[in-house]
Structure 1
């Protein structure tokens, strides 16, 4: 990775970790205000796909900056993993802005944290993906493998909800909707994941072809 892209990744990573730290602080504070513990606040924090995906994105950006100094870096810097992260952060922003934003009105630092994880990081990460991630090796078959992450989260939510009775998103609330409707909702969201993933692979392969042609023209 060239130096300008590494600097860009560093700034984006720092912003991502800052937004996550703010979200964690508010999660713990609000849980304690309601009589819970800091550990329960952490558990609540880790229940949201938004948080888990922002952790993934911040981890990818950090790995891009640090290189091989982390054991996870070789995995996180794979083009397929970085593209799967792009797929997920796009869906995070789309679902929040289309379905969830109107459900609450954060203010102050909570608004700052909200904008970072739902708006700023998706845009910054997509810019990083477009500029810095090599895409010549992306394959259509990877799209299905990438769905293991949102599918795993879906079963994680169902398990958590069965134990605690709490569901992070209205369209996954089994208590209100029942399992059949939640499954239908999940299939619809999964279809959106697949569409976004296919679009990213198509864009990535097109960009890689353009770069190869440009190099050939200069030869």
Structure 2
């Protein structure tokens, strides 16, 4: 059942606006870097755009930026009401937290970005997960989540993994080394994906538990 969105007060609204700005800034910088690199090597810009949206990090940060923008109540719409439903915003909170945790545990040691790439990297993997968690804690209505929502949230990473396998089979390109079938084989790629899914479920259960606890306190 849909619920009416609750918009932040003045102080929270300022925080939400800043978080939204940083979210869109990180995505814009990353998109520019990808397209600029492809331009310099005379590669397809459309291919760069497709590659950009093939990362779970980018997709999830886009959802985060959309929620934060909707929370500013700049324009009332059906899409706004959808994204501001507690179960939707909470599912996105789970996903962005997994982005931050997975990057820190599995990917950070693999490269050392410099310059604007470092800025984009920090915004997308470190800053936005923390900012969106604060937004979720302070601005999303609590006490409305249940275990059934965890199953629904799992569809997002599962569908993404299916897309990654299909794209990799067709193009031979995988966005993350832990699901690179060409190097690891299907068995190890599935084991790695199941491990990340298990982490996703643990984070989701933590969010549901926090939601219930905060809901009782605020009641």
Same fold by TM-score, threshold 0.5 exceeded?
yes
Counterpart position of 1:156? 163
Question: How many residues align structurally?
Answer: 212
Checking the alignment, whether the CA contact within 8 Å between 1:46 and 1:52 is kept in structure 2 is: yes
Counterpart position of 2:187? 180
Q: C-alpha distance in 2, partners of 1:104/1:186? A: 21
Match of 1:109, SS state, is helix
Counterpart position of 1:32? 39
Q: C-alpha distance in 2, partners of 1:87/1:101? A: 20
Q: C-alpha distance in 2, partners of 1:126/1:62? A: 15
Shift in Å at residue 35 of structure 1?
3.0
Match of 1:66, SS state, is coil
The answer on 1:105 being equivalent to 2:112 is yes
Deviations 1:18-41 (A, max 9, x none): 110000001111222333121111
The answer on 1:73 being equivalent to 2:89 is no
Q: C-alpha distance in 2, partners of 1:151/1:122? A: 20
Counterpart position of 1:44? 51
Shift in Å at residue 172 of structure 1?
0.4
The answer on 1:20 being equivalent to 2:27 is yes
Structure 2 length-normalised TM: 0.94
Which runs of 5 or more residues in structure 2 are unaligned?
A: 1-6
The answer on 1:87 being equivalent to 2:70 is no
Checking the alignment, whether the CA contact within 8 Å between 1:80 and 1:138 is kept in structure 2 is: yes
Deviations 1:115-140 (A, max 9, x none): 00000000100000001100111111
Which runs of 5 or more residues in structure 1 are unaligned?
A: 213-219
The answer on 1:61 being equivalent to 2:55 is no
Shift in Å at residue 194 of structure 1?
0.4
Structure 1 length-normalised TM: 0.94
